[in-house]
């Protein structure tokens, strides 16, 4: 911007310290409240579903396991549902086994740079929308506890890679039928595979992933392979918001589908 | 085709003022700044507005149109309906000098607080050799026209004036990222970004990106990458350990890669 040097303002300096005194919280005339309202409803519905699903016991039916309960790591898991046949948590764990692994995907999404935008706007109104005043008197952002913890996002990214790998394995096992014979491809198999592709796309489009591949470097030309990876991740990253929503709903729908099959509500031949 | 538009413009000095109503002629193809100039010419010769290029390249005519930060010269009248009242106010985050003209010296102060480009001692001017892929990230940030709408819309200072001392705003955090990503800049900028320029205040609402007239992806390409670089330095024990074991960049020395 061109800085004007000719002629200082004629007002007294004390007067010039004042912003325009406009009482209205915003002068926006568009429906600025719509986006945060939709985000609020969408995230809240996901939380409500997740709460129900984690305590629902119908999470396994050969050859499908519901994503919210995978990997199943306790003795209470049905034998076919146990990850690689293992139950490392033994029989002392009596709560729903999904709780054991809930923290990784939940933490990944809670600290995700896109979701932060979404819930800071929709739930904390900080700010509810651009150029709309927030209701809080003080603001310290992510400079101190508890929000400074958001900086551990990359560790949740590592955890999310593990979860995505497990879900991929589950989708591979969904290519077997209820008797363990390969070659099965039911609607559930297709749903689990679509979900896995979206989960990987969202996970790899993460800003921390972008940083780890090559974002932290200053000489891309010295690291051509990492630069190519960064370029690929950057392309995905530009659709991070879209992938966040698609993968959130795909995992929810895949989870619901498996539970409905397990409950016998969906029982057509190619389920 | 002409029509009469309803304008409501904030008028006043030093913060005190009010919205005043005007009815003014609008012609096909005009932008908001044209209409404000017609108001000056026909009804309110003392209406103050800062402008220069009328082409969206000087960043002078930043204002708030129907509550949204915009360049007056780039906001087409055809985006409004003819019966709509168009409210024009000065940028809210900065003190008003008169009418739509604000004192943006906060931004120049913040610019001065950032150490300039710092090349290595052993490289003389003329010896810099950089490949395009090494500098193109920073080149996106050089598109900035310094309209300061990103700093104006950022709620950290817009809604909390007390944070102005601690927070440089998206425009200057982007400047820090630009220098930190520069292949030949050796100054340590990560600690200062967090401790002195308030990067931690940013909670990623992306309003700066939303209002940028140059469509710079400020949040995704500058602020978040800079946050990740700060995490490397301050909050990631594995990176710290890796740096110790492999003797990579020290906390104050040259930069990685």
Q: Is the minimum CB–CB distance between B202 and chain A shorter than 8 Å?
A: yes
DSSP state of B41: H
Superfamily designation of domain B3-102: Beta-grasp domain (3.10.20.30)
User: Do the Cβ atoms of A131 and B220 come within 8 Å?
Assistant: no
Q: Which of A5, A12, A13, A19 to mutate to test the interface with B (most CBs of B within 10 A)?
A: A19
Q: Which residues pair with A115 in a beta bridge?
A: none
CB B245 within 8 A of CB B237: no
**Count of helices and strands (H, E) across chain A:** 9, 2
- How many angstroms away from the CA of B165 is the closest CA of chain A? 13
Residues in Cβ contact with A212 at an 8 Å cutoff, skipping those fewer than 6 apart: A154, A157
Query: Tell me: the pLDDT tens digits for A62-119?
Result: 999 999 999 999 999 998 899 988 888 888 888 999 999 999 999 999 999 999 999 9
Which candidate from A16, A117, A217 shows the least CB-CB separation from B256?
Answer: A217
Q: Which residue of B has its CA nearest to A127?
A: B155
Contacts of A216 in chain B (CB under 8 A): 228-229, 232, 256-257
CATH of domain B105-240: 1.10.1060.10
Contacts of A2 in chain B (CB under 8 A): 52, 58-60
Query: Tell me: the pLDDT tens digits for B189-226?
Result: 999 999 999 999 999 999 999 999 999 999 999 999 99
Q: Which residue of B has its CA nearest to A241?
A: B220
C-alpha A257/C-alpha A259 separation (Å) is 5
Q: Which of B61, B123, B163, B200 to mutate to test the interface with A (most CBs of A within 10 A)?
A: B200
Do domains B3-102 and B105-240 share one topology? The answer is: no
Residue B126 has pLDDT above 70, yes or no: yes
User: Do the Cβ atoms of B210 and A130 come within 8 Å?
Assistant: yes
Residues in Cβ contact with B219 at an 8 Å cutoff, skipping those fewer than 6 apart: B170, B204, B206, B208, B209
Predicted pLDDT of residue A6:
43
Predicted TM-score (pTM) of this structure: 0.92
User: Do the Cβ atoms of B98 and A11 come within 8 Å?
Assistant: yes
Which candidate from B15, B156, B202 shows the least CB-CB separation from A18?
Answer: B15
Residues in Cβ contact with A177 at an 8 Å cutoff, skipping those fewer than 6 apart: A62, A63, A183, A184
User: Do the Cβ atoms of B148 and A1 come within 8 Å?
Assistant: yes
Instruction: Provide the residue ranges of all domains of chain B, joining segments of one domain with +.
Output: 3-102, 105-240
Residue B247 has pLDDT above 80, yes or no: no
- Interface confidence, given as ipTM, is 0.91
Contacts of A28 in chain B (CB under 8 A): 66-68
Q: Is the minimum CB–CB distance between B188 and chain A shorter than 8 Å?
A: no
Paired tokens of A229: 């990876």
């Amino acid at each position: 911007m061109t800085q004007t040097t000719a002629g200082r303002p004629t007002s007294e300096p004390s007067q010039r310290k004042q912003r325009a005194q406009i009482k209205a919280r915003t002068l926006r005339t568009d429906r600025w409240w719509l986006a945060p309202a939709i985000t609020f409803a969408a995230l809240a519905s996901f939380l409500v579903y997740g709460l129900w699903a984690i305590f629902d016991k119908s999470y396994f039916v050969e050859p499908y396991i519901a994503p919210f309960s995978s990997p199943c790591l306790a003795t209470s898991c049905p034998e076919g549902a146990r990850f690689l046949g293992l139950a490392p948590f033994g029989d002392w764990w009596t709560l729903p086994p999904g709780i054991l692994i809930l923290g990784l995907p939940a933490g990944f999404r809670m600290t995700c740079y896109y979701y932060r935008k979404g819930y800071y706007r929709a739930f904390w109104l900080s700010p509810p929308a651009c150029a709309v005043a927030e209701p809080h008197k003080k603001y310290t952002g992510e400079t101190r506890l508890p929000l400074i913890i958001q900086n551990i996002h990359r560790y949740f990214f590592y955890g999310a890679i593990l979860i995505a790998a497990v879900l991929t394995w589950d989708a591979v096992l969904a290519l077997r039928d209820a008797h363990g014979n390969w070659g099965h491809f039911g609607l559930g198999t297709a749903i689990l595979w679509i979900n896995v592709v979206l989960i990987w796309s969202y996970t790899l489009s993460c800003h921390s992933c972008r940083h780890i591949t090559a974002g932290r470097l200053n000489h891309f030309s010295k690291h051509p392979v990492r630069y190519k990876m960064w370029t690929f991740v950057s392309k995905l990253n530009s659709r991070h918001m879209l992938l966040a929503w698609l993968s959130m709903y795909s995992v929810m729908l895949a989870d619901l589908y498996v539970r409905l099959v397990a409950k016998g509500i969906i029982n057509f031949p190619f389920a | 085709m002409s029509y009469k538009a309803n304008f409501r413009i904030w008028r006043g000095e030093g913060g005190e003022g009010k919205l005043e109503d005007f009815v003014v002629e609008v012609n096909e193809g005009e932008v908001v700044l044209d209409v404000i100039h017609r108001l000056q010419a026909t009804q309110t010769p003392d209406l103050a507005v800062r402008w220069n290029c009328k082409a969206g390249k000087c960043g002078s005519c930043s204002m708030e149109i129907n509550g949204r930060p915009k360049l007056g010269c780039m906001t087409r009248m055809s985006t409004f309906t003819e019966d709509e009242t168009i409210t024009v106010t000065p940028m809210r985050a900065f003190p008003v000098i008169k009418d739509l003209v604000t004192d943006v010296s906060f931004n120049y102060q913040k610019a001065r607080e950032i150490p300039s480009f710092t090349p290595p001692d052993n490289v003389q001017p003329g010896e810099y050799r950089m490949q395009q892929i090494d500098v193109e990230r920073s080149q996106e940030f050089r598109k900035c026209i310094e309209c300061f709408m990103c700093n104006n819309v950022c709620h950290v200072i817009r809604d909390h004036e007390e944070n102005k001392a601690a927070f440089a705003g998206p425009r200057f955090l982007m400047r820090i990222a630009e220098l930190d990503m520069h292949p030949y800049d050796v100054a340590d900028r990560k600690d200062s970004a967090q401790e002195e320029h308030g990067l931690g205040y940013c909670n990623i609402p992306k309003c700066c990106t939303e209002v940028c007239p140059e469509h710079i992806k400020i949040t995704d390409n500058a602020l978040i990458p800079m946050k990740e670089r700060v995490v490397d330095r301050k909050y990631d024990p594995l990176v710290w350990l890796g740096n110790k074991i492999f003797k990579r960049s020290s906390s104050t020395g040259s930069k990685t890669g």
